[in-house]
């Protein structure tokens, strides 16, 4: 089994216009997590809810990926039917 390294870049900002928490990508197309210290009290109060997000997030990403893969498979089947004619 190939073990994929998971490096997450963390940034702490203080910005009135940014939300409390942002998951985005860095310049190397890796995961970057931005915590806005402007919302420190809100983040602290919701830390357990935020900590439980990965399971729900994985489920939503799975739904998105399953839909995408089904669509791609349908296209693949449609294209292969055209090749038979």
pTM given for the model: 0.69
- Cα dist. 13→8, 10, 34, 61 in Å? 16, 10, 7, 27
Range of the domain at 43: 1-51
**Domain identity same for 65 and 37:** no
**Domain identity same for 43 and 59:** no
pLDDT tens readout for residues 18-51: 999 999 999 999 999 999 999 999 999 999 999 9
Q: At 5, is the pLDDT very low, low, confident or very high (cuts 50, 70, 90)? A: low
**Domain identity same for 71 and 31:** no
Q: Provide the percentage of residues in the chain whose pLDDT is more than 90.
A: 78
Domain count for the chain: 2
Q: At 84, is the pLDDT very low, low, confident or very high (cuts 50, 70, 90)? A: low
**Domain identity same for 39 and 12:** yes
Could you say which DSSP state residue 2 is in?
A: P
């Amino acid at each position: 089994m190939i073990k994929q390294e998971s490096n997450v870049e963390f940034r702490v900002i203080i910005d009135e216009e940014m939300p409390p928490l942002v998951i985005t990508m860095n310049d190397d197309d890796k995961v970057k997590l931005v915590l806005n210290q402007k919302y420190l009290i809100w983040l602290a109060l919701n830390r357990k809810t935020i900590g439980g997000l990965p399971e729900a997030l994985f489920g939503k990403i799975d739904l998105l990926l399953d839909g995408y893969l089904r669509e791609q498979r349908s296209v693949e089947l449609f294209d292969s039917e055209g090749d038979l004619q």
